[in-house]
Amino acid sequence: MIPIEILLAFLAASALVTIAPGPDNLMVLSVGISRGRSAGIGFGLGCALGCFVHTLWATLGIGAVVMASEATFTTLKMAGAAYLVYIGIMAWRYAGKLAPIKLDDGSAEPMGAHVRRGFIANVINPKVALFFIAFLPQFVDQARGDVWPQMLLLGALFAAQTVVIFGSLGWFAGSIGVRLQQQPGLAVWLDRCAGTIFFALALHLATAGR
């Protein structure tokens, strides 16, 4: 077992990193405000689940291989940027038509759809993979010899606290969105603002280096 003082320090550092303004926070907030609580919480949950994948990559060394290959890094980076552009285009194309979150048949858009979008957006972002490669080993006791179980435990704890924080952000943003949606015509601009944020994040990712 990892000493309790190390775990507490890790959780404190993880919470600060998660709360600090970043792409995932902006996406969760923009989705929550434009689509509602369920969408915001779902997208945040998807991002948190993506952390499990990055933990596995870091533990198995896959993330290090990706970072070592310029071609692989660039391919993954551009795929992530393209996906963010796609979400932004959809937000602009259906601006005001999905709020409150409704499909063509009048039923609510399932939370699972937003979980999937958040998961994909997080997993194909190589900058997140790089963060896990650099962050997790700082709290691993190399002398113990059981490095990979420690990495998995730390990654699971990071993802768990991310679920709580991103879920809270999604709920908070959704609560604001519910009130804003009550104003006629505002839903269109909320979706367009959310789409613009995704465009900006896509540009940031596409131009980012290792």
pLDDT in tens, 127-178: 888 888 888 888 887 777 677 888 888 988 999 999 999 999 989 888 887 7
Q: What is the pLDDT of residue 42?
A: 92
Residue 181 above 80 pLDDT? Answer: no
Whether residue 100 has a cis bond before it, omega within 30° of 0? yes
Phi, psi torsion values for 98, nearest 5 degrees: -110, 10
For the chain, domain boundaries: 4-12+23-206
Q: What is the pLDDT of residue 186?
A: 67
Which alpha helices (DSSP H) does the chain contain, by range? 4-19, 23-35, 37-60, 62-68, 70-93, 111-123, 126-135, 147-181, 186-206
Does the model's pTM come out above 0.85?
A: no
